[in-house]
Structure 1
């Protein structure tokens, strides 16, 4: 919340329209409409400056507020509000009344600022979400191929764990190219899969019909193209995380977190120094318990589910993986809680514990270390690393990430001199 202003503006932002209302402490009010093109946003900014507007506020409406914020924030104090926190009074609703309501709340200093990422952090977050979208699309395409095979009575997935692995893909390509079954089986690259020859031959009893063959071939080509895009996107994400290599090494030191999940966590959190306590970060992730109290009675309710859905999802997925691992801090916490709570509650609590530990590690710039475990940790540490100091271990993790970046980059340097990794 802020102090009361003398003259402010409330804007109702839409895809193609902005309705703005300027209100003054003396009761003066006037309204104007603008488009959302770049020239219209410049006109909106000039209109605010000409009328000596001290502050402008608008709701975070989808992705439409981003260009408005970028156009106004360098010149005027700009507030982006959470729509859930400034709901208007029920009744007749219009664009004009909405902008007037926002202006009234802004004039009285009743609007809480939303946390706005920098342009660089927003781009990183967009990249990680795009990669997550590619992953979902890849799953959909793979499920299509499973369906096409099932339609033809081919039970390949019953005898091979991953039909999109090296051997599975070899068999699929052979079916698409209408090769003889014996010819396909003789050239399988994996000796382990070759031992299942009779089982695979029985599963491939039927051949693909013309329609299924065409669809499987097209879907495999789409998968190949998508895999290249995913690898290219991962390279771009890793490139953008070079400045935060220490943070990435710290997050990846936690059990169950790899590059993909670690980059999502950093991208969705942004600058972790914005949070003063781990509880604030957990609440921002939507993992804090809600509050429902009336007449002195508290009713049970789940987590708030506010904040980043992408971050909350990946934290829950990591918690599910870590809970199945061996003896570590998170699995012990989960199983201890599981004795008196249901599975979903225990996993959600583990996800909250995970983000609080990540916060402490990032703030203190320390790698995760497992303590008081009787068995090996889920991420065994090299013996020579046990004798290194905290700074040396962190430096070693950063060096590994930098090496990975140059390794991936060289894969795309066709026709260009290969880039040598820097000396550490």
Structure 2
């Protein structure tokens, strides 16, 4: 089945690859469309005496969510057995030319390619997640979007100050700190600041509920540094409107981020193995939440190798004949999980003694020493194995056991353990 924003295209095949329908069905992404699709499936199932139906889709974008939800609800109330499965978009892309040897892309052709991948058992089931994992994933996605928006508005505020009030950079190292925003919001321009008394400046800070660190001495410094400004002095009405609007939105986003972080902490602490993971020195709530949000319920995995593959950390080598290529990671996995692991490992290498020793060992071992970047990637896998072991075996983190197999090698290299 090929899914798009407004409509979907479906074709029906049996396990031998024989098409059961005379032509494909195109149905809308609304109630009437789903009803039309249900009638079409039921009619074909009755004609061909089928009791089990696989609904397959390519998970590009978010268009498959509604169909998946519809099929799950039918699964509980229908006489026909339904299974919703997904095929890898990369597999679809690589398989397109097998039948007709052309690069043509149409919804009809794609639905055929997807169906044949399912026929050959090249699909995956969607793991069932409990409510807290779904909530955590959605909250973490919302946090990332909010952080991007905050970064965008921060850059816009900096751009505005570069044009109209460049001297404020010498007053505040952080342009978006509360004190800087108070000046920009209330007074905005250096010529306005210069016309105010030190007491007026201090009052602006107090109105912004900044009660410490800013007094008459700082106010005088601000006035002196604002004299002889080289900032633009025309179009001040629209410039004032722009900066106040930017700051209003920035403050709103910061408040939203604070609320999201509170919710993430609440949901993360509901995860059964959160306390065990938080016992690892260097792993905080935000780091743990980012990793779990991308992995989901670790109980759905049977081996740490599956986690490594999910993160795109599997090794690949390009060799032919006498040529031996460079071994690298596949990068075919969840990039957000790799990002979360990178932040986690960087923190662990600084704050966790065991990871610090491992990092040093990987870089200095006599056989196959790794570069700093290669060592960090090796520690990605080590962290995933550690998390998997703690969750699957229901064990507490034990620093000695973590280094058990490598201690003799650390002693050999005179690395304290």
Normalised by the shorter chain, which TM-score bucket?
0.7 to 0.9
Q: For residue 329 of structure 2, give the secondary structure of its aligned residue in structure 1.
A: coil
- 1:112 aligns with one of 123, 126, 129: 123
Count how many residue pairs are aligned between Structure 1 and Structure 2: 360
Alignment partner, residue 237 of structure 1: 264
Deviation at 1:157, TM superposition (A): 4.0
Of 38-47 and 288-297, more deviation after overlay is shown by 288-297
- CA RMSD for the aligned pairs? 3.3
Deviation at 1:319, TM superposition (A): 2.3
Give the conservation status (yes or no) of the 8 Å contact 1:289–1:304.
yes
Alignment partner, residue 413 of structure 1: none
Q: Normalization by structure 2: what TM-score?
A: 0.74
Deviation at 1:125, TM superposition (A): 1.4
Alignment partner, residue 45 of structure 1: 38
Q: Normalization by structure 1: what TM-score?
A: 0.73
Alignment partner, residue 311 of structure 1: 337
- 1:363 aligns with one of 374, 383, 392: 392
Give the conservation status (yes or no) of the 8 Å contact 1:175–1:208.
no
Looking at structure 1, the residues matched to 158 and 17 of structure 2 have their Cα atoms a distance apart, in angstroms, of 69
1:251-270 correspondence runs (5 A): 251-270=277-296
- 2:18 aligns with one of 19, 23, 27: 27
Give the conservation status (yes or no) of the 8 Å contact 1:19–1:34.
yes
Q: For residue 162 of structure 2, give the secondary structure of its aligned residue in structure 1.
A: helix
Deviation at 1:281, TM superposition (A): 0.6
Q: For residue 283 of structure 2, give the secondary structure of its aligned residue in structure 1.
A: coil
- 1:182 aligns with one of 198, 204, 225: 198
Looking at structure 2, the residues matched to 354 and 181 of structure 1 have their Cα atoms a distance apart, in angstroms, of 57
Deviation at 1:161, TM superposition (A): 4.2
1:174-323 correspondence runs (5 A): 174-176=186-188, 178=192, 180=196, 182-183=198-199, 184=201, 189-191=211-213, 203-205=225-227, 206=229, 209=233, 210=236, 211-241=238-268, 243-244=270-271, 246-295=272-321, 298-323=324-349
Structure 1 stretches of 5 or more lacking a match?
1-10, 374-424
Alignment partner, residue 356 of structure 2: 331
- 2:373 aligns with one of 344, 368, 372: 344
Looking at structure 2, the residues matched to 62 and 276 of structure 1 have their Cα atoms a distance apart, in angstroms, of 28
Give the conservation status (yes or no) of the 8 Å contact 2:140–2:289.
yes
Q: For residue 55 of structure 2, give the secondary structure of its aligned residue in structure 1.
A: strand
1:45-194 correspondence runs (5 A): 45-52=38-45, 53=50, 54=52, 55-73=54-72, 74-75=74-75, 76-86=82-92, 87-90=94-97, 91=102, 92-107=104-119, 109-118=120-129, 120=131, 121-158=133-170, 160-176=172-188, 178=192, 180=196, 182-183=198-199, 184=201, 189-191=211-213
Query: In structure 2, do the counterparts of structure 1 residues 191 and 240 end up closer, same or farther at CA, with 3 Å as the change threshold?
Result: closer
Q: For residue 18 of structure 1, give the secondary structure of its aligned residue in structure 2.
A: strand
Deviation at 1:134, TM superposition (A): 0.3
Alignment partner, residue 78 of structure 2: none
Q: For residue 187 of structure 2, give the secondary structure of its aligned residue in structure 1.
A: helix
Q: For residue 34 of structure 1, give the secondary structure of its aligned residue in structure 2.
A: strand
Give the conservation status (yes or no) of the 8 Å contact 2:282–2:351.
no
Larger radius of gyration: 2
Give the conservation status (yes or no) of the 8 Å contact 2:282–2:352.
no
Looking at structure 1, the residues matched to 173 and 249 of structure 2 have their Cα atoms a distance apart, in angstroms, of 22
Q: For residue 145 of structure 1, give the secondary structure of its aligned residue in structure 2.
A: helix
Q: For residue 5 of structure 2, give the secondary structure of its aligned residue in structure 1.
A: coil
Of 110-119 and 32-41, more deviation after overlay is shown by 110-119
Give the conservation status (yes or no) of the 8 Å contact 1:292–1:300.
yes
Structure 2 stretches of 5 or more lacking a match?
76-81, 403-417
Of 72-81 and 246-255, more deviation after overlay is shown by 246-255
Query: In structure 2, do the counterparts of structure 1 residues 162 and 23 end up closer, same or farther at CA, with 3 Å as the change threshold?
Result: same
Looking at structure 2, the residues matched to 176 and 159 of structure 1 have their Cα atoms a distance apart, in angstroms, of 14
Looking at structure 1, the residues matched to 307 and 183 of structure 2 have their Cα atoms a distance apart, in angstroms, of 48
